[in-house]
Amino acid sequence: MKSDPYEVDSLSASEIADLVRSRKIGAVELMEHYLARIDEANPAINAVVDIDREEALKAAEDADSGAGVGGLLKGVPYAVKDCFDVRGLRTTHGSVGSLSQIPKADSTHVSRLREEGAIPFVKTNMPPFGFGQQTLSSVFGLTRNPYNLSKTVTASSGGSAAALAARMTVIADASDIGGSARCPAAACNVVGFRPSHAVIPWHPAYDPYSVANSVGLMARTISDIALMLLISSGSHKSTPTTSRKIDCFSELTPPPAIAGIKVAWSYSPAGTSTHPMIATVLDNCRNVFEGLGCLVEEACPDLTDAHDAYRILCALETWSGVRGIKEANEEAFTPEFVNHVSRITKYSSDDIALAMMKRTRSWKLMADFFSRFDVMVWPVNPQPLYDAELPESEIDFDWRPLEISPQFGLPSVSVPAGFSSDSLPVGIQILGRPGADELVLRVARAFEAETEYWKQGPPRIVGGKGLSPPH
């Protein structure tokens, strides 16, 4: 940018907002920088799927002139997943049946971030209604990994993760029903956070009583996640289950001490088999936690029942939402997609009741476990990243480490943990008991400050070719 010595791509969202407020960086200049990055990298990556340049630059002009709001995120570019509403931008949910949906108002969390000065300026790619193991939209096509264009970003918030990694935005959001915020974040060397159940209101929503689905947050650093959480969390009159506001931003600005924290470490939660290449990276991470004074013990509750219950209960909740969409718009889904999500119709009432009983038994084990440990640390993606072009039917990927948090409302965060021997990002997942969002972020921030893996950006991509790293 013209305003050197500031290298904005290496700054946090709060630092950028401080520079905009103090007029050391212009909001228009900042927006032009990120629009140029989109023009440069997005043709190869395909993370951004809709944009209103005129409105984005007008919002930035308002921030510079003082006509716009001030706020904690003044002038900060913000990418929104295509399942959430941004006034004036299409919300397609990745489906050809939703192309005509142009909302007149923001989703609640988007509105809250806008009110604090963030500029929601693009929509990011997702598979149809969040289902699939590739970020492959029936409208916009496939999103590729900025660290290796032949590799997957997984799903379903892969567009947000890839946009962050490629420095097309400063912050982004996500959704998470079974790992959709955490899995792509790990694949792209950024942070993906799923808060405790109902901390961030999801409105409008197809099912306001959803337990499994959650608004998620994405950023390059834990402090940016904490700032977004401060702004977006808290109850709202239109959502029946939202809870408290969470403010831990100030205590995370300097890296917190975590000596004495009891960490339950596992390479194989719920029966996961972690690939040796990934396990080697996790070994190094364990050394970091021990070096920070944590009391690390290899331990994990038996989550077999939890995994069995998740398959049925998540399908039940998903089908209720999907069926309502299908009734409203017969063109929203392909027959193949309907067959995929309607598997709940194959289960009997006894199957569903048994799944609920298994969930209850599993929670008792989990509650006892959290009486002995403060946090659990697991792999995010236990296997190497698969090819971006690999058909869904050929993908054999273990999502079990990601299924537990939605089922029990556990706060969980994926943090950059290093790189495997094939030079692709690896993430670790830190989970806490329900309501322990602050603790989870404290532990993650201490690990992040010690390692700084987030600073290792991907090759700069121009016209589909990898050039020199941005940092």
C-alpha–C-alpha distance, residues 19 and 26, integer Å:
8
User: CB-based contacts of 149: which residues, under 8 Å, 6+ apart?
Assistant: 44, 45, 388, 461, 464, 466
Range with the poorest average pLDDT among 138-152, 204-218, 275-289:
204-218
The answer to whether residue 194 scores a pLDDT higher than 90 is yes
Rank 63-67, 113-117, 233-237 by mean pLDDT and report only the highest: 113-117
Q: 251-277: buried (b, 16+ CB within 10 Å) or exposed (e) per residue?
A: ebeebbebeebebbbbbbbbebebeee
User: CB-based contacts of 453: which residues, under 8 Å, 6+ apart?
Assistant: 189, 416, 417, 418, 419, 425
| Residue 471 within a domain | no
Range 422-432 average pLDDT: 98
Please tell me which residue, 61 or 465, carries the higher pLDDT value: 61
- Taking only the tens place, the pLDDT of each residue in 74-90 is 999 999 999 999 999 99
The pLDDT assigned to 470 comes to 34
Other Cβ atoms closer than 10 A to 61:
15
The pLDDT assigned to 318 comes to 77
Place of tokens 């032009």: 32
Range with the poorest average pLDDT among 171-180, 236-245, 259-268:
236-245
The answer to whether residue 4 scores a pLDDT higher than 70 is no
The pLDDT assigned to 37 comes to 96
The mean pLDDT of the chain is: 91
Chain center to CA of 416: 13
The answer to whether residue 385 scores a pLDDT higher than 90 is yes
| Residue 181 within a domain | yes
The answer to whether residue 322 scores a pLDDT higher than 90 is no
Domain of residue 415, CATH code: 3.90.1300.10
* 99 band by pLDDT with thresholds 50, 70 and 90: confident
User: CB-based contacts of 290: which residues, under 8 Å, 6+ apart?
Assistant: 296
Which phi-psi region, left, alpha or beta, contains residue 260 (left: φ > 0; alpha: ψ -120 to 50)? left
Percent of the chain residues past pLDDT 90, beyond the cut: 78
| Residue 2 within a domain | no
- Taking only the tens place, the pLDDT of each residue in 325-361 is 666 666 666 665 666 667 767 888 999 999 999 999 9
Residue-range definition of the domain harbouring residue 334: 15-466
Q: How many domains does the chain have?
A: 1
Q: Which of 377, 379, 367 is nearest to 435 (CA)?
A: 367
Residue 279 structure tokens:
């396990």
Whether residue 185 contacts residue 191, with contact meaning beta carbons closer than 8 Å, is answered with: yes
The pLDDT assigned to 326 comes to 62
DSSP E strands: which ranges in 169-243? 171-176, 191-194, 214-219
| Residue 332 within a domain | yes
Chain center to CA of 406: 13
Range 362-376 average pLDDT: 97
- Taking only the tens place, the pLDDT of each residue in 302-313 is 999 999 999 888
| Residue 10 within a domain | no
| Residue 7 within a domain | no
Whether residue 325 contacts residue 206, with contact meaning beta carbons closer than 8 Å, is answered with: yes
C-alpha–C-alpha distance, residues 268 and 261, integer Å:
21
C-alpha–C-alpha distance, residues 133 and 127, integer Å:
8
Q: Which of 224, 140, 213, 216 is nearest to 184 (CA)?
A: 216
Please tell me which residue, 376 or 244, carries the higher pLDDT value: 376
Range 396-421 average pLDDT: 95
The pLDDT assigned to 101 comes to 81
Range 63-67 average pLDDT: 87
Cut 0.85: pTM above it: yes
The answer to whether residue 402 scores a pLDDT higher than 60 is yes
User: CB-based contacts of 392: which residues, under 8 Å, 6+ apart?
Assistant: 132, 133, 134
Residue 121 structure tokens:
């300026």
- Taking only the tens place, the pLDDT of each residue in 169-193 is 999 999 999 999 999 999 999 999 9
Range with the poorest average pLDDT among 190-194, 326-330, 362-366, 461-465:
326-330
| Residue 301 within a domain | yes
Q: Residue 288 burial by CB count (10 A; 0-12/13-18/19+): exposed, middle or buried?
A: middle
* 266 band by pLDDT with thresholds 50, 70 and 90: very high
The pLDDT assigned to 68 comes to 65
| Residue 236 within a domain | yes
Helix (H, G, I), strand (E, B) or coil at 98: helix
